[in-house]
Structure 1
Amino acid sequence: MEVVMAFVVGGLYAAAIYMMLRRSIVKLVIGLVLLSNAANLLIFTVAGMTSGAPPLISPGDTVPEGVAADPLAQAVVLTAIVIGFGVLAFAVVLIHRAYEVVQADDMDQMKDTDR
């Protein structure tokens, strides 16, 4: 399963870089979203794709019994999702305002305006 996830993450990174190199500012934001999703999947893959019980320790024990899921990677990815959503919301508002002022979506046309 890790090999499949490695190809998925690589494909997402490739698509993100391709989208970020386009002239359209909307495609740039789509590339940013793909990049954040690829980073989240990379963290999950590196942490290990083992399914297990929640890491709860029974009273009197010092370690969880059996295979337990790693909660650190889940917490980091959850934080990254929230931060990524905030960055996406900011970028969408910024794009909307830039389009209102310049009346163009192409970055080359935005650069050539004298506003």
Structure 2
Amino acid sequence: MTGGSINLVMALTLGVLYSVGFYLILQRSLMRIVIGTVIVGHGANLFLQLAGGPPGRPPIINGVPVEEMTDPLPQAMALTAIVITFALSTFLLALAYRSSVLLGHDEVRDDVEDRRIRRLQQRLSEDEDDDSETDDQQEAVR
């Protein structure tokens, strides 16, 4: 990488990491969600390291010229992302374990309340369609 630009291989690697991670997060199995979260976390870390640019000298004042210093912010953000990914994956693993103990599987089920709201919305949209058809028929008679 020269001049702060990102090369094609790293861009494709980031794209693959993010797409595979988000695909796994959208699955119903909690283990796949955990793996997807970890993969997205790795993609975020790689992105932050690439955003930091090429390696430089340590950012010590009066030690090196400012132009040669490396930016410490992406490294600090990558460390923060590692901690967040670890905490989230630990929490999701605990949920998956608890789900397998209580239910015998780790599949995420639909919420009963979500189904009720979806059926209500479908009924309301069907009623609106019926009302609009009745209005159209009445206008055609006039």
* CA distance, structure 1, for counterparts of residue 111 and residue 35 of structure 2: 21
* CA distance, structure 1, for counterparts of residue 88 and residue 23 of structure 2: 20
More RCO (CA 8 Å, sep 6+): 1
1:57 to 47, 61, 86: 61
Aligned partner of 1:11 in structure 2 is 16
Please report how far the alpha carbon of residue 35 of structure 1 lies from its aligned counterpart in structure 2 after TM superposition: 0.9
Question: Which 5+ residue runs of structure 2 have no aligned equivalent?
Answer: 113-142
Question: Which 5+ residue runs of structure 1 have no aligned equivalent?
Answer: none
* CA distance, structure 2, for counterparts of residue 51 and residue 39 of structure 1: 18
Question: For 1:16, what is the secondary structure of its paired residue?
Answer: helix
Aligned partner of 2:37 in structure 1 is 32
- What amino acid sits opposite 2:94 in the alignment? V
Aligned partner of 2:127 in structure 1 is none
* CA distance, structure 2, for counterparts of residue 107 and residue 35 of structure 1: 20
Please report how far the alpha carbon of residue 8 of structure 1 lies from its aligned counterpart in structure 2 after TM superposition: 1.1
Deviations 1:1-41 (A, max 9, x none): 42222111111001101212223210111001111111121
Deviations 1:17-68 (A, max 9, x none): 12122232101110011111111212222232x1111111227xxxx42512
Normalising by structure 1, what TM-score? 0.80
Residue 20, structure 1, aligned to residue 25, structure 2: yes
Aligned partner of 2:95 in structure 1 is 94
- What amino acid sits opposite 1:52 in the alignment? G
Whether contact under 8 Å (1:6, 1:45) holds in the other structure is: no
- Write out the 4+ residue segments of structure 1 that deviate beyond 3 Å after TM superposition: none
CA RMSD between the two structures: 2.1
How many residue pairs end up in the alignment? 106
- What amino acid sits opposite 1:81 in the alignment? I
If you compute each CA radius of gyration, which structure gives the higher value, 1 or 2?
A: 2
